[in-house]
């Protein structure tokens, strides 16, 4: 919703003001990330893609800065993943019950569901930050190096995630209601009514496709606002038709 | 609820047409801005109501 204000049309001040707050809430940007990033990286000054992007929180072209708190959470997840892997290796070498318990607890806390939830919920922010960074893909200073490398990783993630979801849900559809599968991969099909059949997979794919489309249109079709608006209209109409045809959600 | 949210998004995207240069009057744009603000607030409230009950 808030991303609709990124289309290249003159949004009145009252809407821009409200949507900039909404974007901050939707992006979970609660930490003073600019100061934190400045400790680790050196950033050259960078202009936003358009003034509107700047007003709505995408103040630079750097992936790292635009992602904000979500980037820090992502890095923490990567550190925890490495730690979990290290604990599993340690457990195999020393084989003490304490390390086994800690390793299993870490695996449950970090692997699969939390990572999938983070990726799914922040999919649009990763996609949009990647699109923005690709408009100025440089390796000059440490900040742009970190941003460009993160962009490549982000692009790989956002392209692979829909294929992974499609493959996993299609292959394991009969087992998706299983408690063990749900506790590991439930975030992938949370809220979807699996009794509606495999067509619910389409809804999840549409979720990803729509966010990719929004990211692409607001960044690269900014010289063609008419296409941006029509693209958004068609996406919403397609979503309404899809919901009407499948009625995929558990709660009404 | 999902259909309601999609319907709200549809109304939002129709508001965007008013914000294009097709509409010349700044007053109309500003009024449409308030309309969109009120609709957004309504949408947030409606989405919060199930959390309370």
Contact between chains at B17 and A249 (C-beta distance less than 8 A): no
Statement: residue A24 has pLDDT above 80: no
Nearest CB to B13 within list A14, A229, A249:
A229
Q: Where are the alpha helices (DSSP H) in chain A?
A: 13-26, 33-40, 51-55, 63-67, 69-94, 97-110, 113-121, 123-134, 142-171, 179-185, 200-220, 225-246
- Name the average pLDDT for chain A: 87
Closest to A132 measured CA to CA, from A69, A70, A63, A210? A63
Greater confidence (A197 vs A24) lies with: A197
ipTM score of the complex? 0.82
Q: Is A44 helix (H, G, I), strand (E, B) or coil?
A: coil
A8: tokens are 């290249």
User: Chains A and B: how many Cβ contacts under 8 Å?
Assistant: 65
Please list the residues that pair with A192 across neighbouring strands: A249
8 Å CB contact between A53 and A129: no
Nearest CB to A240 within list B1, B3, B37:
B3
Nearest CA-CA distance, residue A30 and chain B, Å: 20
CA dist., res. A20 & res. A154, Å (int): 24
Greater confidence (B52 vs A123) lies with: A123
Confidence label for A11 from pLDDT (cuts 50, 70 and 90): confident
Which residue do the tokens 């604990």 mark?
A87
The residues near A7 (Cβ < 8 Å, ≥ 6 apart) are A217, A218, A222, A225, A228, A229, A232, B16
> What local confidence, expressed as pLDDT, does residue A251 receive?
67
> What local confidence, expressed as pLDDT, does residue A252 receive?
52
Contact between chains at B40 and A10 (C-beta distance less than 8 A): no
Nearest CB to B16 within list A22, A232, A239:
A232
Nearest CA-CA distance, residue B51 and chain A, Å: 13
8 Å CB contact between A103 and A111: no
8 Å CB contact between A170 and A198: yes
User: What are A42-78's pLDDT values in tens digits?
Assistant: 888 888 888 888 877 788 899 998 888 889 999 999 9
**Whole-number percent of chain A with pLDDT over 70:** 98
Statement: residue A209 has pLDDT above 90: yes
Q: Which pTM was predicted?
A: 0.86
> What local confidence, expressed as pLDDT, does residue A27 receive?
66
Summarize the confidence of residues A88-107 as an average pLDDT: 83
User: What are A145-198's pLDDT values in tens digits?
Assistant: 999 999 999 999 999 999 999 999 999 999 988 888 888 888 888 888 888 888
| Domain extent listing, chain B | 2-52
> What local confidence, expressed as pLDDT, does residue A4 receive?
79
């Amino acid at each position: 919703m808030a991303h609709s204000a990124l289309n290249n049309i003159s949004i009145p001040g009252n809407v821009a003001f409200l949507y900039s707050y909404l974007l901050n809430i939707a992006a979970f940007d609660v930490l003073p990330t600019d100061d934190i990033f400045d400790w680790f990286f050196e950033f050259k000054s960078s202009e936003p893609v358009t003034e509107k992007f700047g007003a709505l929180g995408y103040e630079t072209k750097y992936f790292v800065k635009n992602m904000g708190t979500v980037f820090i959470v992502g890095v923490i997840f990567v550190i925890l993943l490495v730690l979990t892997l290290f604990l599993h290796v340690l457990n195999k070498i020393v084989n003490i019950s304490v390390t086994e318990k800690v390793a299993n607890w870490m695996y449950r806390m970090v692997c699969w569901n939390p990572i999938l939830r983070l990726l799914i919920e922040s999919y649009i922010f990763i996609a949009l930050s990647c699109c923005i960074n690709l408009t100025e893909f440089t390796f000059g200073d440490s900040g742009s190096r970190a941003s460009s490398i993160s962009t490549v990783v982000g692009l790989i993630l956002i392209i692979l995630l829909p294929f992974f979801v499609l493959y996993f849900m299609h292959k394991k559809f009969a087992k998706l209601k299983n408690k063990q599968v749900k506790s590991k991969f439930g975030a992938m099909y949370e809220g979807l009514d699996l009794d509606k059949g495999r067509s619910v997979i389409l809804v999840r794919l549409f979720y990803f496709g729509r966010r990719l489309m929004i990211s692409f249109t607001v960044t690269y079709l900014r010289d063609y606002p008419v296409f941006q608006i029509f693209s958004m209209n068609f996406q919403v109409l397609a979503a309404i038709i899809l919901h009407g045809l499948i009625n995929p959600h558990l709660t009404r | 609820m999902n259909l309601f949210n999609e319907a709200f998004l549809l109304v939002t995207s129709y508001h965007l047409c008013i914000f294009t240069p097709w509409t010349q009057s700044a007053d109309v744009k500003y009024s449409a801005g308030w309309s969109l603000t009120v609709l957004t607030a309504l949408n947030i409230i409606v989405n919060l109501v199930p959390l309370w009950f």
